[in-house]
Amino acid sequence: TLNLSGILHLRDILLRYYFDDLEDKTNIYTMLKTSHAHRGLKHPMKQVDTPDGKKYVPDFSYRYFAEDLPCGMIVIRGIAELAGVATPNMDKVIEWCQNAMGKEFLVDGKIMGRDLHITRCPQTFGYTDLDTFMKVNHYLD
């Protein structure tokens, strides 16, 4: 049987780590909306010179890309690949992000890019099938 006892619900994670920063603990939406720890977070921009003058563009080296993509979305995408689940919309986002970052995680629809070593996806650790991944990580009893 599938053992998910080690997985915490997002609500529990928010309460554990941000309890004092949450004004409204009614549900996940209100916790995120009223979290002092997350208030005012914006995507940083950087100034660039263009033929039309100075402009601002997103800073793709910032953690929203540099951390959240390889340690979040790529992990989920890697597990989906092991499970044989198609992720066409996720693939479009990954392809756009990796192009903007100058990184390579997804190649020809497979998690196997040259920058896989900076991710936490199962493929980085040599997993090629879901059963082994689930057993080794104690997700099965």
DSSP 50: E
Mean pLDDT over residues 77-99, rounded? Answer: 96
3-state secondary structure of 45: strand
| Residue 90 contacts residue 77 (beta carbons within 8 Å) | yes
Which H helix or E strand runs over 91?
helix 88-101
50-62 pLDDT per residue, tens: 999 999 988 888 8
- Residues listed for the chain: 141
Whether 95 has a pLDDT exceeding 90, the answer reads yes
Of 47, 92, 43, which is closest to residue 68 (Cα–Cα)? 43
In this prediction, residue 51 carries a pLDDT of: 94
Segment 74-90 mean pLDDT = 97
Mean pLDDT of all residues belonging to the chain:
92
Q: With 0.95 as the threshold, say if the pTM is over it.
A: no
**Backbone dihedral angles phi then psi of residue 8, each to the nearest 5 degrees:** -90, 145
